[in-house]
Amino acid sequence: MAVGRRFGPARRTTTAVLAGTIGLLAPLAVALPSWAQQAPADGYYATPPPVDMGKLIADSGQPDKKYKPSKACVQRSTLGQNIVLKTRPWGQDYLQIDKAQEIVKAATGSVGGGVKVAVVDTGVTRHPWLHNLQSGGEYVATPSKGQPGGLEDCDGHGTEVAGIIAAKPDDPEVGFVGVAPDATIVSYRQLSENYEPDTSTSTPPASNTGGGTPSSNTPPSGSGSSLPPTSGGGGGAGSGDDDQTSPGQSNGGRQLEKAGTAGTLKTLAEIIRGIADRKDADVINMSVDNCRTANGSITEGEQQVQAAVHYAAAAGIVIVAAAGNATDTCPQNDQPDARKPKTIVTPPWFADDVLSVGAIDQTGSVAQFSVHGPWVGVAAPGTQIISLDPAEGSTGLANLTFESGDKASEIQGTSFAAPYVAGLAALVKAKYKNLDAKGIINRIKETAQHPAAPGGRDNFVGYGVIDPVAALTQSLPSEIGNQAPIPAPQLAQLPPSNDRSSTPMIVALAGTGGGLVALLITLFVMRTIRRNRPAETGDARR
């Protein structure tokens, strides 16, 4: 799917005609009511069952169990030759982030100032280019003495996510910048693949932010990022460092409830409820997922998250989540009937209250790893990512991740597409202060570059790739109570193409035959007159 420029004025009429035709045919092409309200008869869920608010749980403010470090945390390595990253990521140019920021700054005086974005992830490490960072909570381990909860990132994933949302480099030569650099990040460490359950009876150990050799990990069964998110490579942009970052985990994304790691659906639900109760944030970004086989059921943990996101959305919070990445244990939804998915991804499954984000690549096509599904809301760049280097003490950027040893891979995944949308939500919130959460989400969806599909959405990119400039400038009829008028269908007044009556044909043939006869008689008479006319004599000519 290629995403091109908007059509100019000369092509808008054709576009409108096509859109109207699609609108009339959509009810026939997609029988939404048959599956959107309930599970199909065979037991598979395309959409979840109704919300059970009895499953809403309170925020305990602490881990659900004791965890201990199992692997070394993200760290600086000795690789690299003082590489300084100055290139602007392709995603910034593709989305015209600089123009969007100019629009918001002209209207408000800042670029997202006053808006809080909660990052529920692996924590966020302090970085000199992340100016507005606050502690949210710690749900993995007891923070180090004097260390606020949520500000340690052993995995490195959450720091990169936060950078895409709100990083603000001090070096003018650096091209990378967060979408809403004046917004405030509130960090919650909710999971880690570098921690495991502690079966001993001792007190949970403090977080390990030291070095050591990273050990390998089994690829997780879900998504968040298809390649290891703890970045490497690139060195500190503008820092002059001669090293890179090596990770504390191997291939895979941030998967909830994976065996031998920290992070459950229960604590995710607690955090979302707590944010809503305390009004800690205007936007929540969750680049974490739980992926499982679709079997017609819903687990208790999923019900808890469903109730929590419904509660938070009702409280006016915009909830953004990564759509998920396909892996061997998280199969792609490529079955013929989209209403019967093979894979369920939570929290994107709860699309009534969550804006889930798929990923596109540099060509504008949907990324191969991005999980498809009826819950996909919009899409954003998710490949060749550049963001903050997450190693503690780093002062630059990273664009690579090291799976093992010196093997480097690009940073990519729906984990990093989601923060582009969360950052845009912060900009919309800053510019349109009276819009509620649903209004912000609708504005992002309605102004997206819609795919050529019935209803302007599909199961790959949802309503399309986000368009930040349009989201910040377009006037939407739905916001002023003036829905665009739908023209009444004009009934044809012509007779049926075949009414089984031969009269019209007989009349037509008779008329044609009569005309030919008249023409022939006329020609015959004229020829006869010419032949019978007396010859002129010479005397007459004289």
Tens digit of pLDDT for each residue in 237-294?
Answer: 333 333 344 433 333 457 776 777 888 999 999 999 999 999 999 999 999 999 999 9
Q: Which percentage of the chain shows pLDDT scores above 90? A: 55
pTM (2 d.p.): 0.76
pLDDT band at 131 (very low <50, low <70, confident <90, very high): very high
Say if 460 falls within a structural domain. Answer: yes
Contacts of 316 (CB under 8 A, 6+ apart): 282, 436, 437
Say if 542 falls within a structural domain. Answer: no
- 246 token code pair: 């090596």
CATH number of 183's domain? 3.40.50.200
Say if 139 falls within a structural domain. Answer: yes
Active-site choice (59, 70, 77, 121): 121
Active-site choice (182, 415, 450, 458): 415
pLDDT band at 499 (very low <50, low <70, confident <90, very high): low
Q: How many helices (H) and strands (E) does the chain have?
A: 12, 18
Specify the pLDDT at position 477: 84
Specify the pLDDT at position 527: 78
pLDDT at 465 over 90: yes
Average pLDDT on 200-216 reads: 42
Distance CA(358)–CA(417), nearest Å, equals 7
Specify the pLDDT at position 364: 95
Say if 136 falls within a structural domain. Answer: yes
Higher pLDDT, 452 or 529: 452
pLDDT band at 72 (very low <50, low <70, confident <90, very high): confident
Task: Give me the residue label for tokens 């992340």.
Answer: 130
Collapsing DSSP to helix, strand or coil, 422 comes out as helix
Specify the pLDDT at position 406: 60
Specify the pLDDT at position 535: 59
Per residue in 407-449, pLDDT tens?
Answer: 778 999 999 999 999 999 999 999 999 999 999 999 999 999 9
Domain with 411 in it: 15-475
Higher pLDDT, 538 or 322: 322
122 burial via Cβ count (<10 Å: 0-12, 13-18, 19+): buried
Say if 6 falls within a structural domain. Answer: no
Contacts of 280 (CB under 8 A, 6+ apart): 116, 118, 136, 186, 274
171 burial via Cβ count (<10 Å: 0-12, 13-18, 19+): middle
Higher pLDDT, 356 or 241: 356
372 catalytic? Reply is no
pLDDT band at 114 (very low <50, low <70, confident <90, very high): very high
pLDDT band at 405 (very low <50, low <70, confident <90, very high): low
Active-site choice (59, 70, 127, 157): 157
Nearest to 214 by CA among 289, 127, 154, 165: 154
Nearest to 444 by CA among 411, 479, 409: 479
- 521 token code pair: 């008689």
Say if 1 falls within a structural domain. Answer: no
Rounded to 10 deg, the angle between the 437-446 and 414-431 helix axes is 110
Say if 217 falls within a structural domain. Answer: yes
Range of 247-261, 366-380, 504-518 with top mean pLDDT: 366-380
- 48 token code pair: 């979840």
Neighbouring C-beta atoms of residue 35, cutoff 10 Å: 19
415 catalytic? Reply is yes
Average pLDDT on 177-199 reads: 95
pLDDT band at 534 (very low <50, low <70, confident <90, very high): low
Split into its structural domains, the chain has a count of 1
Specify the pLDDT at position 7: 33
121 catalytic? Reply is yes
pLDDT band at 530 (very low <50, low <70, confident <90, very high): confident
Residue 138 dihedral angles phi and psi, to the nearest 5°: -125, 120
Say if 198 falls within a structural domain. Answer: yes
End-to-end CA, the chain: 91
